[in-house]
Amino acid sequence: MISDRKQVWRIERRRGIFRECVFVVCVFVYLALINQIMFTYSFEKLDVWQKARVLNSNIYLLTRSFPKDETYGLVQQIRRASVSISSNIAEGTSRRSYKEKARFSNIAYASLMEVLSQIILALDLGYINKNEYQNLRPLIEEIGNKLNSLRNYQIQQF
């Protein structure tokens, strides 16, 4: 009797996992179709914005392993700064004057430096290892270079 219950439970668990997998595949197909139909905004075409999104994803994954007592401290701070980078790039592209665009690029760069500082702090505190730091550092430097280039272009235009 007990083995029958276990078997029924295993079968139901497999069905649940299968349903979840089917749902995930359907969502990805739907998003792929939407992306073909939807309008693409100018910031979405920027390589620096796409790299900032990658950095943001990496930061969220990395901070999952931070201690629970840092949930409302360093974790929240670094996640907000990371989101701020791509958000300010997007907001800057919507501005009319190049002076305003450059201002938002500058804010995005400042947020990037804040993320770098916090990553170094996390390394010092032992929340991340040297390998994780060395994996993030080149991406941060690449985004910084691209933001500087974008800002320099925007400054030349006004």
pTM over 0.85, yes/no: no
What is the average pLDDT across 89-110?
97
Please give the backbone phi and psi of residue 126, each rounded to the nearest 5 degrees, phi first: 80, 15
Question: What pLDDT is recorded for position 80?
Answer: 98
Question: What pLDDT is recorded for position 79?
Answer: 97
Burial class (CB in 10 A: 0-12, 13-18, 19+), 33: exposed
Residue 10 vs residues 2, 24, 137, 148: alpha-carbon distances, Å = 12, 21, 44, 55
- Hey, what CATH class is 41-157 in? mainly alpha
3-state helix, strand, coil in the chain (%, to 5): 85, 0, 15
Distance between CA atoms of residues 95 and 103, nearest Å:
10
Sign of CA dihedral 131, 82, 156, 44: positive
pLDDT for 2 beyond 60: no
Question: What pLDDT is recorded for position 154?
Answer: 96
* In contact, 110 and 151? CB cutoff 8 Å: no
pLDDT for 110 beyond 60: yes
Please state, rounded to an integer, the average pLDDT across all residues of the chain: 87
Number of CB atoms found within 10 A of residue 150's CB: 23
pLDDT for 25 beyond 90: no
- The residue that leads in pLDDT, 16 or 158, is 158
